Amino acid sequence: MQLIDGKALAQKVRAEVAAEVETLKQSRNIVPGLAVILVGDDPASHAYVKMKAKACEEVGFYSITHHMPETISQQEIIATIEMMNQNPRIDGILVQLPLPKHIDTNKILEVIDPKKDVDGFHPYNVGCLAAGLEGFAPCTPLGVMKMFEAYDIELQGKNVCVVGASNIVGKPMAALALNANATVEVTHIYTQDLKTHTARADIVIVGVGKAGLITADMVKEGAVVIDIGINKLDDGRLVGDVDFDAVAPKCSYITPVPGGVGPMTIAMLLENTLKSAKQRA
């Protein structure tokens, strides 16, 4: 069993991005810019945005956070996004989710210029991903693909089971695996007998937010297990969706939580923003 060290890989990606940013500054006088919209006072969202801002500073990006009150109107958010669409210094626009209930999330995401949609949530980029065309893919699934590449884990011809069908993780993860010529099954809350699907998979990718969902009897010997879930237990510990201690001995590769997929998400956000800046150049 080998641990997939997302923390170390993310640091390597960040170092590569920082080096490319320096080259871009010297050769084209371009500094990649990321703008974040944060609505309300959700502590988790605030912590995540703070981490993104720190990562931007580390690699030499220009970054700005538009912090808006919980009561902000949908039209005011749209007006801010439209302003950033026109701003030549901004290469990436990110709306921190979830948004308050009175805001139509889909409508907000549709306003973002697809060329600046570094989260990969705009319908245009979703369509490009489904069709195997060039565009922006969501950062968490993209981070998983980067892990496969770094650890020489081949997807072509493999059976992949994606547990969870969210628009942010499950669906784009399935599309990326399909584009890599894997045979993909997507399971979700209405799937009957989850074990029959996971137990025959060469690669199990799970991201639903339910601690201990994947147990040892649900995974075949030698499988690769990617745990995207993150859950806080009553004793304060952070765990994934996989019963790590029981499942790990059966795996060829497995991601830990924390220190697995999580750090890769922000690393891929930086990489997507750099990609956008290069397109501007």
Domains 29-127 and 139-262 share a fold: yes
| Beta bridge partner(s), residue 226 | 205
Which residues contact residue 17 at a Cβ distance below 8 angstroms, ignoring those fewer than 6 apart? 59, 267, 270, 271, 274
How many angstroms separate the CA atoms of 139 and 153, rounded?
A: 19
| Beta bridge partner(s), residue 212 | none
Domain ranges of the chain: 29-127, 139-262
How much is the pLDDT for 280? 87
Residues assigned a catalytic role: 52, 96, 119
Top-tier CATH class for 139-262: alpha beta
Query: In the 8-state DSSP scheme, what is residue 124?
Result: H
Instruction: Report the CATH superfamily, name and number, of domain 29-127.
Output: Leucine Dehydrogenase, chain A, domain 1 (3.40.50.10860)
Would strands 62-68 and 159-163 be described as parallel, antiparallel, or unpaired?
unpaired
How many angstroms separate the CA atoms of 257 and 211, rounded?
A: 11
pTM of the model as a whole = 0.95
Phi, psi (rounded to 5 degrees) for 232: -100, 120
Cα distances (angstroms) measured from residue 39 to each of 28, 59, 157, 162, 239: 34, 25, 43, 31, 27
Please list the pLDDT of the chain residue by residue as tens digits (281 residues).
999 999 999 999 999 999 999 999 999 999 999 999 999 998 889 999 999 999 999 999 999 999 999 999 999 999 999 999 999 999 999 999 999 999 999 999 999 999 999 999 999 999 999 999 999 999 999 999 999 999 999 999 999 999 999 999 999 999 999 999 999 999 999 999 999 999 999 999 999 999 999 999 999 999 999 999 999 999 989 999 999 999 999 999 999 999 999 999 999 999 999 999 999 87
